[in-house]
Amino acid sequence: MSQAAEPTRPISLSRRRALSTLAVAAATTFGGSVPASAWSLFGRSKASVESTRLDVSGLSDEWVRRQGSELGVYADYLSRAGFRHLTPLQVIEAHAKSHGGVWNSLPPRDLWDNLVPTLRVIDRVSVELGQPVQEIISAYRSPAYNARCPGASSGSWHQQNFAVDVRFKTRASVVASTARRLRGQGLFQGGIGRYPTFTHIDTRGQSVDW
């Protein structure tokens, strides 16, 4: 996982820094809505809420059962964020995993807003690359799950829902350099980690590379 060399987070996060990061992301929000083709993923559904029908037939029944009604609520929250080049299902799939007998979970509600700026950065990277997100490998990790992930840092920013490990069809080196260029232009402040097959991006409010 990406935390083998990820710089760890401090014990407490500056409220000003978090709000600053959210403000930068809000200023760069894309207009428009998710293309109809993207929502074709949401056909058969086990969980639903007001506006989002989410197909979770490819996810573990046990994991879906553990999330309960929160799964549908989170899917609706993500859909309302209006990402153009990634889908709520891609985000949710990243959570439906287990390591060492410990299941990961959706993030607590008080951490939901932390991920939106990072996903907006990834949405923008997608625009720059001219291709959609292929896979979100990791997003939020519960502390118990993170402790079972090989190489994961105990101070991982994934535990605060600021970090995403993402894969595009193009080389990870190209993704990382694109993200760094956008960061240099003031789109966000955060960490960018380059790995052989994926890229780590977070919006911690401080620029770090590895």
The pLDDT tens digits for 124-169 are 999 999 999 999 999 999 999 999 998 888 889 999 999 999 999 9
Lowest mean pLDDT among 15-24, 81-90, 105-114, 147-156: 15-24
- Residue 52 is predicted with a pLDDT of 58
184 falls within a domain: yes
The answer for residues whose C-beta is within 8 angstroms of residue 145's C-beta and 6 or more apart is 97, 98, 99, 102, 103, 104, 105
Q: For residue 124, give Cα distances in angstroms to 2, 8, 25, 30, 52.
A: 21, 25, 11, 8, 23
28 in a structural domain: yes
Given pLDDT bands bounded at 50, 70 and 90, which one contains residue 114? very high
Q: Residue 182 above 80 pLDDT?
A: yes
Mean pLDDT of the chain: 82
Q: What is the pTM of this model?
A: 0.76
Total structural domains within the chain: 1
On whether residue 5 sits in a domain, the answer given is no
Evaluate whether residue 3 is within a structural domain.
no
116 within a domain of the structure (yes/no): yes
Assess if residue 161 is contained within a domain: yes
How confident is the model at residue 152, as a pLDDT?
85
Domain that holds residue 51: 13-209
Higher pLDDT: 52 or 157? It is 157
